[in-house]
Amino acid sequence: MNPLKKKPRSNAYQPAPEKPDWLKVRLPFREKENPVDFVRSSVEGGKLNTVCESASCPNLNHCWSRKTATYMLAGDICTRRCSYCDVAFGKPLALDPEEPLRVAESAKVLGLSHVVITSVNRDDLSDGGAAHYKKTVELIRERLPECKIEILVPDFKMREENLEIVYSSKPDIFNHNLETVERLFPTVAPAKKYERSLDVLEHASKRGLLTKSGLILGLGETLEEVHQTLKDLRSVGVQMITLGQYLQPTPTHLPVSEYIRPEVFKDLKEFGKALGFRTVFSGPLVRSSYHADEQVPWFEN
């Protein structure tokens, strides 16, 4: 674990409330030949980072048992300090020029048909890490020509020249998470801007990319605010959406305001479909890359 993760996210200390039954993950007994060990071996052997581990995703064992993982580029230290996120923040190290190749080789070893690539924010770099994304996508494409490639990117401060670098790699899905409603942006993600994120998604949509975004709920938003946010996302051309429950990583992270009941997620799924989203993944344990591979065939029918 990166020692920077031990830094408190705030001076406040508030333990998370007891999780309801629908948020408790039951793990199966370990098998002799465990796919989780296979994925871990590939990731650790390639000295790679995954958002699964760095962001303390509750679905790690589930996804890795399916031999899928979300690669995290550009190191494991983020330049932004979001109050909900468990990725370490601080001064990042220099980019590793061999990382894109190691990611591509790992994806090939795992035999992935759908790869999700994300990164930490690299506001210290002139291109925000855009060329690093481009190189990684191109190397995966060389080794796995039939593989679908989904990129989950930061906002690049809405610098069009950097976005164009990413577009030129021709990813199958362009994902940028809005994360929360407009009112909560200053508290949840103070280095981000609601309108800027919408602008990024609209810019990608107008370039003909298939766009996707995600929200985490239970941060204090109202249902009306969620509805408006979904409308805003549709208005800028977003076609795929994920909705999941916020889980507080440590007692110094932003506290959970509410555990959203499964039936609310079900209603939001229907609301999203009625707005015209082509796919809506909505549920307590849903994350941006949760079963990402299962969303692709819909578009090919």
Angstrom distance (rounded) from CA 284 to CA 217: 9
291: left (phi over 0), alpha (psi -120 to 50) or beta: left
117 touches 71 (CB < 8 A): yes
Angstrom distance (rounded) from CA 214 to CA 243: 6
The binding site for [4Fe-4S] cluster comprises: 52, 57, 63, 78, 82, 85, 289
The binding site comprises: 52, 57, 63, 78, 82, 85, 289
8 by Cβ neighbours in 10 Å (0-12 / 13-18 / 19+) ranks as exposed
193 touches 168 (CB < 8 A): no
Nearest residue to 283 via CA among 245, 251, 252 = 245
Q: 15: which DSSP letter?
A: P
146 touches 113 (CB < 8 A): yes
Q: Which amino acid is at 18?
A: E
